[in-house]
Amino acid sequence: MYGLSVERYNEILENQDGRCAICKKLPGPRLKRLAVDHDHKTGAVRGLLCFRCNYGIGWFSDNRELFETVAGYLGSGIDWRDLSGSNK
């Protein structure tokens, strides 16, 4: 799939120490294999991902700007429970 032989898949897997290229977790017991992540525009294979990371990238449609916005949002430190407005 995606132009990879089984041997090449295994080479990438070994290079990633058997772990997801993003979260570094080993595949879970349900889905024993990592998914081949590829650029939907060029077809280039980027690496092997666990189901969660692969699914997350899919939901964000490979949109780098959106991922950067998400990273900023997660690091914003805002806590809307603080009603005084000094929540940074």
Is the whole model's pTM more than 0.85, yes or no? no
Residues 6+ apart with CB under 8 A from 13: 34, 48
Reading phi first (left if > 0) and then psi (alpha if -120 to 50, else beta), residue 35 is in beta
pLDDT of residue 21: 97
| 20 backbone dihedrals φ, ψ, rounded to 5° | -60, 135
CATH class of 6-74: alpha beta
Are 53 and 67 in contact by the 8 Å Cβ rule? The answer is no
Q: For the chain, which residues make up each domain, given as ranges?
A: 6-74
pLDDT of amino acid 77: 87
Average pLDDT per 10 consecutive residues for the chain, totaling 88 residues: 90 97 90 89 93 91 91 90 66
CA distance 13 to 76: 34
